[in-house]
Structure 1
Amino acid sequence: MKRQLLGLVRRGALRLMPARSVDLSRLDKIPDSLSWPLKRDGFDPPARLAEVRAVDPVHKLGSLLGIDIWLVTGEEAGRQALTEQDVFSTDIRPYVGKRGAADGDIGGLGFTDPPDHTRLRRLITPEFTMRRLQRIQPSLDRIIAGQLDEIESRARVHDVVDLVPSFAFPIPFLMICELLGLPDKDRETFRELGHARFDVTTGGVGALGAISESREFLKEATARQRREPGPGLIGQIIREQGDEISDYDLAGLADGVFTGGMETSAGMLAMGTSVLLGHSTAWKRMGAEPDFVAPAVEELLRYLSVVQVAFPRFAKQDVVVGGQHVHAGDVVLVSLPGADRDPVFGDAPDSFDPDRPVRSHLAFGHGIHRCVGAELARMELRAAYPAIAQRFPEMHLTDDDHEFMPSSLVYGVRQVLVRPHG
């Protein structure tokens, strides 16, 4: 049977079969020919991305189970692919078999099309405007101050401190827990699940398993709050919407907010602090010049682009993207680091330049699926970077290399070792 299936794939016969017959969740490994865009070199995306972009900003990456896959590395073509909601779908459920369609392991804003996406996003968008977020600024400042105290405490005992468990992870974790009204007692479990769900080294099986575990936790949390609504976002939606929103939809929203707001912000805090420490002038300015903070944060977001690939776009009809003819049923993957290193960003786009003129980037995506928590992430970064630079002006990196996470859809680093007092 396996030999017959391989024969079908080679002949492209699966393209003629219904989408539900293609179950990507059963893949135990993503081929190197498709996963190479995720294999970064330190802070930088693979050099091959720039080579591909220079020749063809919309590149035929290959085929998987008979589905043609296109990689977009150009900024202009990327915006087009992320914007045209009438041409592309992000609903991945037909491609993940029973795990996604029947068991509810896949859902939420990222994998939902209008009108469901519009309905769900409308429930949480108001809570993530800068005006509404200002009310949690005191909580954020308290959380940051507590983690800086923890760094100080660890520095009294150990010469070297790891910023990931002491600074980068707990700040967004505790903030999201408070925002959603969730307990923070299971932080290590959710840290591991957050990493696992974006790791494609084991193919679709491992990622979907991690999604399932975190979703089950949140299903239980929403069921508890259905009986006794808490003070956070989950409780607020339940009080306002009642039975109009199902536990499945609410858990999907909470899951998207939790994992998206945790893993991405943790990666930015860890790697962004490391980048700043590698540029001593920028580190000093971050702690001393308030006007420097916002543009420097935007440059860090562009330079690092921790979300490596936007939600897959499935072509609903034939379309031309960046001069390439994409056929109905094809998958379009937009490399956000590739697009954000496009020469349109000025001289030396592969370098971190905090004085670079600010230009709209794609680190948060674009279009209707742009990250709903973008302003929360900015708020955290604009508060945390200057706070740590002010508290520890002599902090510097050790000689130990960072331990980056390989082949992860959300890029990050497992440790950042520093000497807080020089």
Structure 2
Amino acid sequence: MSESPTLPLHMRRAGFDPDPELAVLRDEEGVRRVSTPFGVDAWLVTRFADVRAVLSDAERFSNARQGAFRLPGAPEMSEEEIAVMRAGNLLAFDPPEHTRLRRLLTPEFTIRRMRRLEPRIRHIVEEHLDAMEDAGSPADLVSSFALPVPSLVICELLGVPYADREDFQRRTSRLLDVSAPIEDRLAVQKESRAYMRELVSRIQADPGEELLGMLVREHGDDLTTDELTGIGSLLLLAGHETTSNMLGLGTLALLRNPDQLELLRKEPERIDAAVEELLRWLSIVHSGTAKLTTTEVELAGHTIGPGELVMCALPTANRDPALMPDPDAFDITRGAPGHVAFGHGVHHCLGAPLARMEMRIAFPALLQRFPELRAVSPEAHFRSFHVVYGLTTLEVAW
């Protein structure tokens, strides 16, 4: 019988909060060498100022060079195979390669461009609320609302058939589960890329108004098929996985903090500030992408040599007393200025305007439709071993 995997320190939570050991680490040491799910050790950075410093400095903390590590248990891959798997993945590059890819995508994710999507997002949200209401109370909020709404939005934006959602959601869930064997996760990654490559080929033959079609029409000479495949794969994964977990976990956070929920009901104009505070307080992405030092660096009084893995603990950074007073309190009146839930620097989340818009529409619509919304069980079902924290289910009644 195989041993059950140990949850890495940077992924440990106590409900909505980072594990108490992480808070002690932040307050006393700041940086510590820890085990990772990759089978190699890394330096874990926990303070807000240090996390921002790492995320701001792509020269000394490289995303591209982490590919030098071969994960224990991973099959041998040739340089060509590695290059194909990395192509188009913005998270696997540093400037100037990263800058080139991001510049092609940025116009599609401006706030102005996102506003064009707003009527469609409102319609999708209302459709799913109608279906929930028709099916009757109780319902699983995750499967009936939190997951399908962002999935449908990103499918329409990219040009991915919504009928394929069960398959790509299954693959994504396996890919992000660090308790799964590395060979399984790599096999799923290949399967995902094969699916997206076939979709890209169809769009190249007949590009429409979807984002991938726009990239083919306007930048077809600048982007290879492998790059388009990588872009599509990353946006599909990030576009549904993060926002869906924010909607599920965020709803539970509001239900568990009835004073904040009541304030948002009475003053719906607070929704933007509420979304920022939920992003900060929940910090569903544990760490973002690991970095590799390119030179000797000093963080929190620790000297870290070149060629070392560095990871950022986003939940402890966003709960750092140096960022704001009483950071462990959930308070929608403050708007959570300066959080790093979307990262920081050149790799700041490209889809942040879309995620904010989906949450700004979905939370008020849900609370307005079901004024008596409540969690059925006092227990919550958290996804502990996933790269993106969230809930497996959330049964609600109204």
Q: Does 1:387 align with 2:360?
A: no
Q: How does 1:247-266 map to 2 (within 5 A)?
A: 247-266=225-244
Match of 1:61 in 2: 34
Task: Pick one of 82, 96, 108 that aligns with 1:115.
Answer: 96
Structure 1 residues 237 and 175, CA gap change in structure 2 (3 angstroms): same
Task: Pick one of 67, 85, 93 that aligns with 1:105.
Answer: 85
Q: Is the 8 A contact 2:280 2:336 kept in 1?
A: no
175-184 vs 94-103, greater mean Cα deviation: 94-103
Match of 2:111 in 1: 130
Deviations along 1:276-300, one digit per CA (max 9) or x if unpaired, are 1122232233334232111111010
Instruction: Classify the secondary structure of the residue corresponding to 1:256.
Output: helix
Distance 2:77 2:270 in 1: 50
Amino acid of the residue matched to residue 47 of structure 1? P
Instruction: Classify the secondary structure of the residue corresponding to 2:50.
Output: helix
Match of 2:67 in 1: 93
Amino acid of the residue matched to residue 369 of structure 2? R
Instruction: Classify the secondary structure of the residue corresponding to 1:105.
Output: helix
Match of 1:196 in 2: 174
Q: 1:68 Cα shift?
A: 4.8
Q: How does 1:17-416 map to 2 (within 5 A)?
A: 32=6, 35-62=8-35, 68-91=41-64, 92-96=66-70, 97-98=76-77, 102=81, 104-107=84-87, 108-155=89-136, 159-356=137-334, 358-416=336-394
Distance 2:37 2:380 in 1: 33
Q: 1:127 Cα shift?
A: 0.9
Q: Is the 8 A contact 1:30 1:200 kept in 2?
A: no
Q: 1:116 Cα shift?
A: 1.4
Amino acid of the residue matched to residue 316 of structure 1? T
Q: 1:67 Cα shift?
A: 5.8
| Runs of 4+ with deviation above 4 angstroms | 28-31, 62-68
Deviations along 1:356-412, one digit per CA (max 9) or x if unpaired, are 353210100111111100111101111100111111111111125222112211111
Uncovered stretches (5+) of structure 1, i.e. residues with no partner: 1-27
Instruction: Classify the secondary structure of the residue corresponding to 1:325.
Output: strand
Q: Is the 8 A contact 2:8 2:36 kept in 1?
A: no
Deviations along 1:82-123, one digit per CA (max 9) or x if unpaired, are 111111211233324518851533440011122211111111
Amino acid of the residue matched to residue 353 of structure 1? D
Match of 2:73 in 1: none
Instruction: Classify the secondary structure of the residue corresponding to 2:325.
Output: coil
Q: Is the 8 A contact 1:286 1:389 kept in 2?
A: no
Q: Is the 8 A contact 2:9 2:22 kept in 1?
A: no
Uncovered stretches (5+) of structure 2, i.e. residues with no partner: 71-75
Amino acid of the residue matched to residue 54 of structure 2? A
Amino acid of the residue matched to residue 106 of structure 2? T
Paired residue total: 389
Q: Is the 8 A contact 2:314 2:340 kept in 1?
A: yes
Q: Is the 8 A contact 2:286 2:314 kept in 1?
A: yes
| CA-atom RMSD in angstroms | 2.1
Deviations along 1:167-203, one digit per CA (max 9) or x if unpaired, are 1001110000111111100111122222222111125
Distance 1:258 1:345 in 2: 32
Deviations along 1:39-64, one digit per CA (max 9) or x if unpaired, are 22222221110011111111122589
Structure 1 residues 148 and 66, CA gap change in structure 2 (3 angstroms): closer
Q: 1:154 Cα shift?
A: 1.8
Structure 2 length normalisation: TM-score? 0.92
Distance 2:39 2:238 in 1: 30
Amino acid of the residue matched to residue 284 of structure 2? V
Structure 1 residues 152 and 305, CA gap change in structure 2 (3 angstroms): same
Q: 1:204 Cα shift?
A: 3.0
348-357 vs 143-152, greater mean Cα deviation: 348-357
Structure 1 residues 358 and 161, CA gap change in structure 2 (3 angstroms): same
Q: Is the 8 A contact 2:150 2:358 kept in 1?
A: yes
Instruction: Classify the secondary structure of the residue corresponding to 1:351.
Output: coil
Q: Is the 8 A contact 1:169 1:266 kept in 2?
A: yes
279-288 vs 187-196, greater mean Cα deviation: 279-288
